[in-house]
Homo-oligomer: A and B are copies of this chain.
Amino acid sequence: MLTTEFDTSLPSIRQVQHLIKETTQVEFKLVTGDLLTGRVLWQDSYCVCIVDENSQQTTIWKQAIAYIKPKN
């Protein structure tokens, strides 16, 4: 875990903030190959926390994200 900045002017940070606000369903593909889906509850420098349809929360380490795909 590293010294980080959390620059809310960056498009990628803003996009996740937007997904939180819009309560969009998002697919997270991880470097493990796992595919997690849920609404984003919060993000910080290290993590993104999502909740699925069973109210199970999962905190994803950003270091493990390969890509995210908002469900349109």
Hey, which bits of chain A sit against chain B, CB under 8 A? 1-6, 10-13, 15, 29-34, 36, 42, 44-47, 49, 55-70, 72
Contacts and interface: CB of A to CB of B under 8 A. Distances in A.
A72 B52 CA distance: 13
A55 B13 CA distance: 21
A61 B61 CA distance: 12
A60 B60 CA distance: 15
Chain A facing B: main interface SS: mixed
Contacts of A72: 55-57
A67 B10 contact: no
A1 B63 contact: yes
A60 B64 contact: no
